[in-house]
Structure 1
């Protein structure tokens, strides 16, 4: 009887502990989810305010900035002025050309450099890799004056080519450092098998590329966001109306004596839409690529 009683007591104690542990886990999960919801609302709320106010008149924006558009405040005049008064279509095209061109060029050059630095064991490879890591810490804007002098000597001032070259140089250090971690994780047997079958170095790299696809997606995402949103270099290197990007074109709706807030908010909404869509579509690859790159 005593043994049976002790066994029942131990079973009851273990059950109680398990129940307390589950309750504690549930409470912790609820707290974490609650904090994530709060952070998400804090991040999304300003975006929603911008989008809602872009469909209002100027008086309604200042009188009821957080209210939904109604029959008295709803207006799409701001969007109409974006396409009539401004050059939004041209700005949009220029931003696409610069962003896509810089991203593609960055991916190609970073892939070649990262594969070479991880595959070929030469003395200066660690030094070059450290040089690229150093480039991550130094902001490219510190070299604005030399960049301007270089573009003037190359006759590239006020061209989209100048922006593509600068953004590619700006994005390469981080892209190479990130891709190097992925190429190091590729099994050597895969590359050796390709070489035994007669594949050249370029062909070997293309065989390995599917194995580093998350890294390529992460590099593309990290490269596109700052390029699309940048204002500094478009203002300096391509300020003319025919070469303006979206971020620079938005400035024409802000003046010294008159601010067209509906058009300004409409242009911001249209300019941010492609990045939001791309991030929603490729968010899983983006997070997976960054997390795996950090983990490696």
Structure 2
């Protein structure tokens, strides 16, 4: 009886906490979007107020679309992000399946090597990466960014996915082998559908650093034809003068893909994060 009485209270408290966290997380995003529709003076005078008839202005969006090739920057970011996530999920899942399923002499050393890849940031090797890209003729190409971001996301993806794949029933995989399925079919038809929440989690946490990154686009692909949306937004930030209307408008447009991806994968993301936490 006591559990039945307290469960609605706990449910209400959980919902209140969830709403609070959501408001706190979305508040900076809302402030950026609201101020992107204001004139410059209103941004600094009343940053938390909604735009009205006097303060409303689309000059930031007009500037973004007129100055520079924002649609090209957006396209470049989309191509790099989608291709990098695809590579991380595909190769990461295959490597994680091998580590979780097969026992070989170098298995622990490989797992340790991948763990070190999580702790050591890839930016420490920027000079060596740039030298390799120059030698391969990949500077100022989207391929260079895709390769770097794929390598950057693989250690964490393999670490997370291998733990989930260890939880997949061995009886299910052995039954597939008895039915004549190859290891590739077992991987793609039996294992991957069961780890979709983990795949969605890896996809979201891989996308955000790639989409928001400024370092590698500035080092490897600073040309006008290969600029990403984050690097393109730096056009409006000067040493002495910053066009805040354009900056906020560019940031508002750049936020949209992240929000769309979160809405698409939110259920799988929550399942992936909370898997194993509640029994």
Per the TM superposition, whether the score is higher than 0.5 is yes
1:268 aligns with 2:251: yes
Assess if the C-alpha contact under 8 Å between 1:181 and 1:293 holds in 2. Answer: no
Match of 2:224 in 1: 241
- Structure 1 SS opposite 2:239: coil
Assess if the C-alpha contact under 8 Å between 1:114 and 1:179 holds in 2. Answer: yes
Moved more, 194-203 or 238-247: 194-203
Match of 2:273 in 1: 290
Aligned partners of 1:23, 1:118: CA distance in 2, in Å? 41
- Structure 2 SS opposite 1:271: helix
Assess if the C-alpha contact under 8 Å between 1:56 and 1:73 holds in 2. Answer: yes
Moved more, 30-39 or 212-221: 30-39
Q: Normalising by the residue count of structure 2, what TM-score does the alignment of the two structures yield?
A: 0.92
For the aligned residue pairs, the C-alpha RMSD in angstroms reads 2.3
Aligned partners of 2:60, 2:147: CA distance in 1, in Å? 34
Match of 1:6 in 2: none
Deviation of 1:36 (Å): 4.5
* Gapped regions of structure 1 (runs ≥ 5): 1-14
Q: Normalising by the residue count of structure 1, what TM-score does the alignment of the two structures yield?
A: 0.87
Match of 2:160 in 1: 178
Alignment of 1:1-296 (within 5 A): 22=5, 26=9, 34-208=16-190, 209-292=192-275
Query: Residues 196 and 80 from structure 1, CA distance in 2 versus in 1: closer, same or farther, beyond 3 angstroms?
Result: same
Deviation of 1:22 (Å): 4.8
Aligned partners of 1:190, 1:295: CA distance in 2, in Å? 23
Deviation of 1:24 (Å): 11
Aligned partners of 2:95, 2:194: CA distance in 1, in Å? 17
Query: Residues 293 and 126 from structure 1, CA distance in 2 versus in 1: closer, same or farther, beyond 3 angstroms?
Result: farther
- Structure 2 SS opposite 1:185: coil
- The structure with the larger Rg is 1
Deviation of 1:203 (Å): 1.4
Deviation of 1:35 (Å): 4.9
